[in-house]
Amino acid sequence: MFANLSDRITASFKQVRGKGRLSEADIDATVSEIRRALLEADVALPVVRQFTANVRQQAKEAVASQALNPGQQLIKIVNDELVEILGGAARDLHLAKNPPTVIMLAGLQGAGKTTLAGKLGRWLREQGHTPLLVASDLQRPNAVNQLQIVGERAGVPVWAPEPGNGVGDPVQVARTGLAHAQDKQYSAVVVDTAGRLGVDTEMMQQAIDIRDAVDPHEILFVLDAMIGQDAVHTAEAFRDGVGFTGVVLSKLDGDARGGAALSVATVTGQPVLFASTGEKVTDFERFHADRMASRILDMGDVLTLIEQAERAFDADEAEELAGKLAGDGDFTLQDFLAQLQQLRKMGSMKKMLGMLPGMGQMREQLESFDEREVDRVEAIVRSMTPAERTNPKILNGSRRQRIARGSGTTVTEINALMDRFDKAKTMMRQMARNGGPGGMGGVPGMGGLPGGGKKSKGRMAPPPQQRKTKKGKSGNPAKRAQQEREAAQRGAEKPGSAFGLGEPERAPDTGVDELEVPAGLERFLGR
């Protein structure tokens, strides 16, 4: 969502990076560029004025104090102000001293309240609570059924005594849902309420009645981050009508300009507590203003990435893997497959890669990332026998042909995967011994991003310096056979289609071991 804003702001810093001193003209030019970027991102005008005024004043004070690195000082000032307008320090949910904690969701229709109720319920369950979802949206068609489906996916029970579709009293459902939670000793209750296509008196009154009936500890306003400045006006109307204690940003993975997300905390005075970043029940996270500001300034969000990894990775398996990479054992394709599956538990690999620092400079390659290539890699490894995964050296020509048929790929793609796997294993062992990677040049041995390339094919043609001219075949039968064998094994030297970075040439259907050569020449071919 913040891609364009991030590009504009980081570009504005280019003229001040590396300068020993900053003049007031440098500061004014940078602040003016940031101001235009914020306005084009649909940030509220009062917020933009306050932001730019604070940045300009602090930057001029830094120049007057003759800071050692004024360029970095300016970036720090912008980062601190971004954190401020995004809501400052994150706070936790207000929990009841005597359970259950009641959380009421409010917002317009289409903002994603029902789906978010399931996501919040799942998040509460992961935090050690026993949540209950209450279906008090009886107005929207199939809202009750949708909440039941979402609750089932999230593993959270749903209280739905009324069928909905205009039938039933939503206030009574909320009241009986709270009573049921108290009786069954649930520790948290999430009340899903009805929305409308716009703010109206009937909608406000129903939300007020539900609020008075259950006396919630938190009222979360679900804000669609894609509807621009109108979202801020709606938030103000809810604040003045029903009142709310926190904001949840939904559809933060969209392609809108993101102005509402940057404006709502400052305009309403209430913090953003959570963010919904996708359609799955797992695409839900705490909102941290400092981490979001870091993403906007292309400094990454490594802390969130680590938290997701801690949830997805098994500690014992991770320790065993670290030992193998350090040389205590052999890192096999079976280990590689297990790590690939755990990576996929973390969610979209494109999203994870986007959290790394400096990825804004690779935005085009990241956008063209084809996650289907990961499926192809997994299919290749799964088509191998346990012995082949443990000892890839036994993969001769006929075995590779069998794996290619089983995985729906080509021998060239398998050659590419094996070559990259060997290089990656070597590089990761070096990293394990040296204490970590020395730069951000991509995954070692993987040749950049897996799946990157043209959107039409999910692959990218190799650069000119990597293209090799095709040599003529030798007239010597033994030498020609040797050339063909080397060509089959050298397929991995081209940017490999196994990770989507090259358009592979089709390998010949005949395996190397089946080539017919004159008698007595087998020893030259290593048979």
| Domain match, 60 and 108 both | no
Is the domain of 109 the same as that of 20? Answer: no
| CA dihedral for 244, 250, 256, 258, sign (positive or negative) | positive
- Please give the tally of structural domains in the chain: 3
Cβ-based neighbours of 511, under 8 Å, separated by 6 or more: 396, 397, 398, 400, 401
Annotate 77-133 with DSSP letters as a single string. HHHHHHHHHTTSS-------SSSPEEEEEE--TTS-HHHHHHHHHHHHHHTT--EEE
Domain shared by 44 and 170, yes or no: no
- Domain final position from 299, 334, 351: 299
- Please tell me whether residues 168 and 189 are part of one structural domain: yes
Question: Is there a domain that residue 94 lies in?
Answer: no
370 shares its domain with 397: yes
Domain assignment present for residue 348? The answer is yes
Q: Evaluate whether residue 90 is within a structural domain.
A: no
Is 92 marked as binding a ligand? no
Question: Do 294 and 404 belong to one domain?
Answer: no
Claim to verify: residue 402 and residue 495 sit in the same structural domain? yes
Residue 70: exposure state from Cβ atoms within 10 A (0-12, 13-18, ≥19): buried
Nearest residue to 253 (alpha-carbon basis) of 348, 341, 342: 348
Specify the length of the chain in residues.
Answer: 527
Using DSSP, state whether 274 is helix, strand or coil.
Answer: strand
pLDDT at residue 449, as a whole number: 40
The pLDDT value recorded for residue 181 is 94
Q: Which residues of the chain, if any, have pLDDT below 50? A: 436-471, 491-518, 520-527
CATH code where residue 358 lies: 1.10.260.30
Helix axes 411-434, 372-382, angle to 10 degrees: 100
Is residue 525 in some structural domain?
no
User: Is 62 found in the same domain as 115?
Assistant: no
Choose the final residue of a domain: 299, 329, 347: 299
Query: Following DSSP, what letter does each residue of 293-362 receive, concatenated?
Result: HHHHTT---HHHHHHHHHHHS-HHHHHHHHHIIIIIS---HHHHHHHHHHHHHT--HHHHHHTSTTGGGG
Q: What pLDDT sits at residue 56?
A: 87
Is 118 labeled as ligand-binding?
no
Give the per-residue pLDDT at 392: 86
Tell me: is residue 439 an annotated ligand-binding position.
Answer: no
Annotation-wise, does 132 bind a ligand? Answer: no
The answer on whether 108 is annotated among ligand-binding residues is: yes
Dihedral pair phi/psi, residue 167, rounded to 5°: -105, 130
Considering the domain architecture, whether residues 228 and 156 belong to the same structural domain is answered as: yes
- CATH number for the domain spanning 8: value is 1.20.120.140
pLDDT at 334: 82
- Annotated binding residue 194: yes
- Asked if residue 250 belongs to a known ligand binding site, the reply is yes
Q: Evaluate whether residue 165 is within a structural domain.
A: yes
Tell whether 111 is in a known binding site.
Answer: yes
For residue 523, tell me if it sits in a domain.
no
- 199 to 196, 216, 237, 425: CA distances (angstroms): 7, 21, 7, 58
**3 state SS of 500:** coil
Residue 113, annotated as binding a ligand? yes
The residue whose two tokens read 């890699």 is 377
For residue 450, the model assigns a pLDDT of 44
Residue 95 within any structural domain of the chain = no
Residue 304 lies in a domain: no
Based on the fold, state whether residues 138 and 250 are members of the same structural domain. yes
Per the CB < 8 A criterion, the answer to whether 401 and 516 are in contact is: no
Which backbone phi and psi does 159 adopt, to 5 degrees? -100, 110
Considering only CA atoms, which of 106, 134, 133 is closest in space to residue 208? 106
Considering 85, 118, 146, which residue would you say is the last residue of a domain?
A: 85
CA gap 42, 193 in Å, rounded: 29
Parent domain of 210: 101-299
Is 109 labelled as part of a ligand binding site? yes
Residues 182 and 322 in one domain: no
Q: How many CB atoms lie within 10 A of CB 184?
A: 12
| Radius of gyration of the chain, Cα coordinates, nearest whole angstrom | 29
Cα distances (angstroms) measured from residue 86 to each of 35, 272, 285, 292: 16, 8, 16, 8
Residues 196 and 292 both lie in one domain:
yes
CATH code of residue 290: 3.40.50.300
Tell me if 253 is assigned to a ligand binding site: yes
* Backbone torsion region of residue 326, taken as left when φ is above 0, otherwise alpha when ψ lies between -120 and 50, otherwise beta: alpha
Tell me the sheet residues that pair with 190. 103, 133
